[in-house]
């Protein structure tokens, strides 16, 4: 067997099917998922502004949806997405600047992001529901 044909045993990239989920990888994919959700949400937000400029009937349809169970779930979910993506985005900016790469630091910042986004979401839900 020539040198070129000999099988090489290089480390393979992680196969997601057999890979145990870790905080770091779960938060990473959650950043993408919330980013996609927020992109759709940005179109919804633009539509909301256009409806506010439109006639009362159109705006009422919009408000009726926002006040329905489905609307509350969507808006409440949107709030979690915004807080999570915001906080984890700040975590990413620190990495871009070269800070927080130690495994211990990555886990600590990850749990802080989870805790603060859950608290901020819960606080907004409480305030929002009281104002309804």
Partner 1 sequence: MNGDLRTPLSRARGLGSAKDGLHHWWAQRLTAIALIPLVVWFAISLVMMTGAEQAVVRAWIGSPYVMVLLILTIVIGLHHGQLGMQVVIEDYVHNDGWKLALIVLVRFLAVFFGLAAVVAILRIGFGG
Q: Interface with partner 1 by CB under 8 A: which residues? A: 32, 35-36, 38-39, 42-43, 45-47, 49-50, 52-54, 56, 59-60, 63, 67, 79, 82-83, 86, 89-90, 92-93, 96, 124, 127-129, 131-132
Minimum distance, C-beta of residue 57 to partner 1, in the bound complex (Å): 10
CA dist 52 and 46 (Å) reads 10
Cβ closer to partner 1: 103 or 120? 120
Minimum distance, C-beta of residue 4 to partner 1, in the bound complex (Å): 16
Contact 125/68 with Cβ under 8 angstroms?
Answer: no
Cβ closer to partner 1: 1 or 34? 34
CA dist 128 and 60 (Å) reads 19
11: Cβ–Cβ under 8 A, 6 or more apart, which residues? none
Cβ closer to partner 1: 16 or 104? 16
CA dist 122 and 88 (Å) reads 17
């Amino acid at each position: 067997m020539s040198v070129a044909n000999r099988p090489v045993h290089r480390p393979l990239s992680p196969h997601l099917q057999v890979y145990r989920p870790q905080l770091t990888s779960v938060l990473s994919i959650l950043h993408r998922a919330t980013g996609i959700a927020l992109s759709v949400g940005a179109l919804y937000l633009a539509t909301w502004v256009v409806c506010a400029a439109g006639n009362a009937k159109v705006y009422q349809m919009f408000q009726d949806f926002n006040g329905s169970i489905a609307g509350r779930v969507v808006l409440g979910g949107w709030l979690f997405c915004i807080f999570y993506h915001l906080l984890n985005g700040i975590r990413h900016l620190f990495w871009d600047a070269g800070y927080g790469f130690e495994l211990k630091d990555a886990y600590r910042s990850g749990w802080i992001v989870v805790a603060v986004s859950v608290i901020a979401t819960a606080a907004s839900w409480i305030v929002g529901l009281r104002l309804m």
